[in-house]
Amino acid sequence: METEEYGQRLYGFDQPLERERIALIGEVFDAFTHRRIADLGPLSGRRCLDVGAGPGTVAAWLAEQAGPRGEVIALDRDTSLLREADHPGLRIWEADVDTAADAELPPPGFDLIHARLTLCHLPRREEVLRRLVSWLAPGGHLLVSDVINTMASGSAHPAVRTMTSAFDHALVTTLDSDLNYARAYPTPLTEAGLVDVDLAADIPLVRAGSRTARFWELTFDAMRTEILATGLIDAAGFSEAMNHLGTPGTHELGYTLVSAWGRSASPAK
């Protein structure tokens, strides 16, 4: 079955509630990302690239860290949210990291490249990873983060386990997105030639009424038709799982954000 491109229809910025959902990504995951990047060393005066920048919350933070002597480029194939936010200190670059020719992309030589929730949605994710590695300056770092489904195995609620499993299946069959890709981390970074490779995992809690719960409610609901089409769960089960996420007293371990990083093998000069 032919798949569609992520953001073309599903999760496109023109879809109802997508702007709220994508803003919540930053509120749920940015604190984890800031900590992982900060652990790699100071960024003052550095050249940074944020791939799949979305609304630009990470890129704007990078610009603060890099300061006036640094440079931060926010790259996305749809830069409408970036332009609306008008973050100071950012260069906005509209291109598809997967398909654009080299001449259409920023010149290489980055001290830090970051990509969160990007590679898992790209069919040619391994090729894109190697492309990102090739853009690093000597001694530069690449940090990639993607989620894996810990709700399907960790939830005590049967309907939640079934729905999240169906959601993962729907992502594969509809968008060719792979939420199991990060389970291989950090091996793909080592195979791409990086050194000092390591990884960490952060799990945002899903509590009823929390921003994390709202993010997942919007995420699942946007693919309700596709989730039901898998045949793994029916409409009653879907509603039961969604109601559980909003029930007072609900506490769930959310999808785990797995971050992996490494450094260009060439020493910094």
| Residue 28 resides in a domain | yes
- Rg of the chain over all Cα atoms, to the nearest angstrom: 18
Predicted TM-score (pTM) of this structure: 0.95
CATH of the domain at 190: 3.40.50.150
Is the pLDDT assigned to residue 268 strictly greater than 90? no
Residue 218's domain comprises 18-263
| Residue 9 resides in a domain | no
For the chain, what is the mean pLDDT? 93
**Considering its fold, how many domains does the chain have in total?**
1
pLDDT, greater one: 115 or 12: 115
| Residue 268 resides in a domain | no
- pLDDT (mean) for 65-74: 96
Q: What kind and span of H or E run contains 27?
A: helix 18-38
| Residue 257 resides in a domain | yes
Of 227, 134, 127, nearest to 172 (Cα)? 227
Encode pLDDT of 207-237 as tens digits.
999 999 999 999 999 999 999 999 999 999 9
| Residue 6 resides in a domain | no
Is the pLDDT assigned to residue 35 strictly greater than 90? yes
pLDDT the model gives residue 170 = 96
Is the pLDDT assigned to residue 1 strictly greater than 80? no
- pLDDT (mean) for 135-155: 94
Q: Which residues contact 183 (CB under 8 A, 6 or more apart)?
A: 148, 258
Which sign does the torsion angle of CA 233, 183, 174, 77 carry?
Answer: positive
Q: Which residues contact 156 (CB under 8 A, 6 or more apart)?
A: none
| Residue 201 resides in a domain | yes
| Residue 269 resides in a domain | no
Is the pLDDT assigned to residue 269 strictly greater than 90? no
56 pLDDT tier (thresholds 50, 70, 90) = very high
| Residue 204 resides in a domain | yes
114 pLDDT tier (thresholds 50, 70, 90) = very high
